[in-house]
Amino acid sequence: MRAAVYFLFILPLLVNAPLEVYFIDSVLKYRFKNRKLAYITASIISVTTAVISLVFCVDTTGRIVITLPYDLISIAASLCILVMMLVNMKEKFWIKIVVFFLSASMLDTFFHIFTASREIIYSSLTVKTHVLRVVALLVIAVLMTLLEIGIFILIDKIRSKHDDTPLPIRYLLAFFLVVELFEVVFALQTTEYSYSTEYDVMDFSSLNSSQLAMLIFT
């Protein structure tokens, strides 16, 4: 069961960098000059950040403790993507900056939406036993991640058939506003969750999936 907790902890880190590259390169169509190198680099970044996070955020008893290094590692991973865009993309400098920040913000919004959706699904289950709770949470987390990736792939396929060119900045801004507005509306329709200050992460009876997803373990 401990492995399941660790996997849930690093799952966003394993997905974020490659997904951000795919979103920029294939969904928004701001192509990298060397696409293969971009995806390989993103994969290396994701694995590296996941390993480093486990090293810094797991104490000697095996509990996950969110500390400052986790935030710094996440920021460093994002900066690596930005540097890769600056070096491995033909667009103007200001366009790269705008695309990076808007895409990062939208992906963060998507993450919160899918996390909330996962919590709604998980909360509706009547699973009581420890093992089944762990399995249910793990399955839902993986399925929601695959759903997010699947939606991006679908958008990529549709755009490739009709308009395989970079999304103009004005449309990108409009897309950004729509996504942010949707998050606000979605948030108003979902339940607010409060978190205690201390949990035993190996005791799933005291945790819900939202608490795990937000990585609030002390």
The pLDDT tens digits of the residues spanning 121-155 come to: 877 777 777 777 778 888 888 999 999 999 999 99
The pLDDT tens digits of the residues spanning 178-208 come to: 988 888 887 776 655 433 323 333 333 334 4
Domain that holds residue 162: 2-213
Q: Does residue 137 fall inside a structural domain?
A: yes
Structural domain total, the chain:
1
Beta strands in 60-107 (DSSP E): none
Q: Does residue 86 fall inside a structural domain?
A: yes
The pLDDT tens digits of the residues spanning 78-123 come to: 899 999 999 999 899 999 999 999 999 999 888 888 888 887 887 7
Q: Does residue 218 fall inside a structural domain?
A: no
User: For residue 51, how many other CB atoms are within 10 A of its CB?
Assistant: 13
d(CA 145, CA 138): 11
Mean pLDDT of the chain: 80
